[in-house]
Structure formats: structure tokens, C-alpha cells
Amino acid sequence: MRRAALAAGSVAAAALGATLLWSIHGEDGASGAAPATLAQGGQVYAESCASCHGARLEGRPDWQTPLPSGRLPAPPHDASGHTWHHGDGLLLRIIRDGTAAVVGGGYESDMPGFGGVLSEEEIRAVLAFIKSGWPERERAYQAEMTRREGEAR
């Protein structure tokens, strides 16, 4: 009985969270992601990404200025950053494998790969959550970049 109550409470909390995220990150539903996916992505983002990229996708201050280590601070994932300039394939690879592995050529980054920590579903949910915060113009541009990636294969 207790398990059933906990499960019901978890489902209700997820539904409420999804509704709140939907209203914050895609009022018109234009992101195309289901509320449950946005809720999952928001939760995973909060647990795995927000410590570097900010709770509101804002990134680190002066994110385009190298740190003393020579590495760049974590960029924002909101419309002020450059995440929306890249197609889904590249973004999913960066989340899964880490920036340095994707860029190559000795590039160093503090962005680890999460492929050994997060499932493919969780990674896709995080990306959907991030994308849901973009205005229509950025979502449209990013969708075009994703389409072009598909053509290049």
C-alpha cells in the first residue's frame, strides 16, 4: 500500500512538474516535446547539468573568456548562447561523449561525457528541455541545422 501511495505521489509530482515546465519553457507547446519528457529532462538537467550551466540555462558569467586553465566556462543553453546553432546529432554527441571527444584535435574542456551515466532517453529528454526554453526563431534555426545534419549523412 505504501509503495502504491509513493508511486502515485511520484506520478502526480511529475505531472505537476511537467505542467510548470511547459508553462515556463514553451508556453505555446511549440517545442513539440511531451510534458513528461520535459519533466524528465528538467529533472535530469537539474541533477546533472545545472551546477555548471545554471539552473535557468544561463551558463557561467563571461563564458566566452577563457579561464586561467585556458578552458572556456560553461556556456548558456538559453537563447543568449550558441547551443541552438547546432543540430541534434552534434548536441547529443557532446552530451554523450563530452566536448573534447567531439571537437578533437587536443581541445580541452571541462564538459564530461554523460554516456556512461545517463541513458539515451535521459540525454534526449535533457536536450528537449533545453530546446523548450528557446524562442521560436532559435528553435526554427536549430531544427534547420538538424535537418541539414540528416542530409549530410
Using a 10 angstrom Cβ sphere, with 0-12 exposed, 13-18 middle and 19 or more buried, the burial of residue 126 is buried
Per-residue pLDDT reduced to its tens digit, 57-111: 999 999 999 999 999 999 999 999 999 999 999 999 999 999 999 999 999 999 9
pTM over 0.85: no
pLDDT in tens, 126-141: 999 999 999 999 999 9
Q: Which domains does the chain have, with CATH numbers?
A: 2-152 (1.10.760.10)
Look at residue 111 in the predicted model and tell me its pLDDT: 95
In this structure, how many other beta carbons lie within 10 angstroms of the beta carbon of residue 74? Answer: 20
pLDDT at 153: 76
Residue 1, pLDDT score: 52
